[in-house]
Amino acid sequence: MKRGTLVTRWDEESGTRMLHDEVAVEFPLTIVYNGRELVTLQCTPDRLKSLAVGFLAAEGIIREAADLEEVVLDEANGVVRVTSRRGGDADPESAFRRVITSGCGQGAAFYKTNTETLEWIASDLTAPAAALAAIARDFQRRSAVFRATGGVHSAGLAQGDRLVCFCEDIGRHNAVDKLFGECLLQGWPTADKILVTSGRVSSEVVFKVARMGVPILVSRSAPTSLAVDLARELGLTLVGFARGKRLNVYSGAERIRFETPVQ
């Protein structure tokens, strides 16, 4: 989502002038879980139920859609109230302990800094390298809000060579959480999907994608060292710098079908 505003533009050749510009909308959303205020996320105000559900699932506070009893959005007050039948695998005291992360648009997360609660990704999905590059190009064309504002990140879910869901947000973590929430609320399986993101792949993003059970993660940007290590430990195929007709595979290359032998 975007909003118009007046700005003063200066450049060395033409000087100063007033013009109309568009900026990404930032919105505070508070998640109340089983009557307890959990966190306030600075986000883009769309797919707010999906964001709340995806955030809770990504942090291990809920495990599946069956855990959800009720999800109520009070958009006027910026609140999503989630009632759960059970608390997933999260210990309430540790789950609500903030950890400052490398995220943007979401400065706090509750993820555990180990992989004990995550399962090895055993999906037998494979994909041609050329198809991943084509998906990344299609993904890049989808982001109308980014082209207008330059102020959002995107995340998409692909099946085969087709994007089936696309989310934008001021925070790259939020965009992934929206996808996670959509999968849970819509009942979509994830073992046959590919997740595409516009942002840097940090360890937090790998945790979220691994918890989703998505076997292939593709980014237009770079991964961090810890993201690469975690992807290898969890059996996640991690692809970075997917731009034009090239890409780098950092882990799980056995899922990628290359047209020419690897040298």
Q: What is the CATH number of the domain that holds 134?
A: 3.40.140.10
Q: What are the pLDDT digits (tens) for 150-199?
A: 889 999 999 998 999 999 999 999 999 999 999 999 999 999 999 999 98
| Same domain flag for 144 and 94 | no
pLDDT at 250: 98
pLDDT at 10: 93
pLDDT at 174: 96
In a domain, 72, yes or no: yes
pLDDT at 102: 39
| Same domain flag for 133 and 172 | yes
- 108: pLDDT strictly greater than 90: no
Q: What are the pLDDT digits (tens) for 53-62?
A: 999 999 999 9
In a domain, 263, yes or no: no
| Same domain flag for 184 and 252 | yes
Q: What are the pLDDT digits (tens) for 88-106?
A: 444 545 455 444 343 554 4
- 117: pLDDT strictly greater than 90: no
Give the mean pLDDT of the chain: 89
CA trace torsion 111, 115, 121, 126 (10° rounding): 80
CA angle 9, 44, 211 (to 5 degrees): 135
Phi, psi of 183 (to 5 degrees): -60, -45
CATH number at residue 50: 3.10.20.10
Whether 104 is a known active-site residue: answer: yes
Given the residues 43, 104, 167, 183, select the one marked as catalytic.
Answer: 104
- Pairwise CA distance, residues 132 & 213, whole Å: 18
pLDDT at 93: 53
| Same domain flag for 157 and 78 | no
Q: Residues of the chain with pLDDT > 90: what percent? A: 76
pLDDT band, residue 73 (cuts 50/70/90): very high
- 7: pLDDT strictly greater than 60: yes
Q: What are the pLDDT digits (tens) for 14-64?
A: 999 999 999 999 999 999 999 999 999 999 999 999 999 999 999 999 999
In a domain, 38, yes or no: yes
| Same domain flag for 182 and 244 | yes
Range from 104-113, 125-134, 216-225 carrying the lowest mean pLDDT: 104-113
pLDDT at 118: 85
Q: Which of 246, 159, 179, 231 is nearest to 201 (CA)?
A: 231
What is the average per-residue pLDDT within 102-116? 50
Q: What are the pLDDT digits (tens) for 192-244?
A: 999 999 989 999 999 999 999 999 999 999 999 999 999 999 999 999 999 99
CA angle 235, 241, 243 (to 5 degrees): 125
Tally of residues, the chain: 263
pLDDT at 113: 47
Per the structure, the count of domains in the chain is: 2
Domain of 57?
Answer: 27-109
Q: Which of 156, 152, 174 is nearest to 165 (CA)?
A: 156
Contact present, 186 and 168 (Cβ < 8 Å)? no
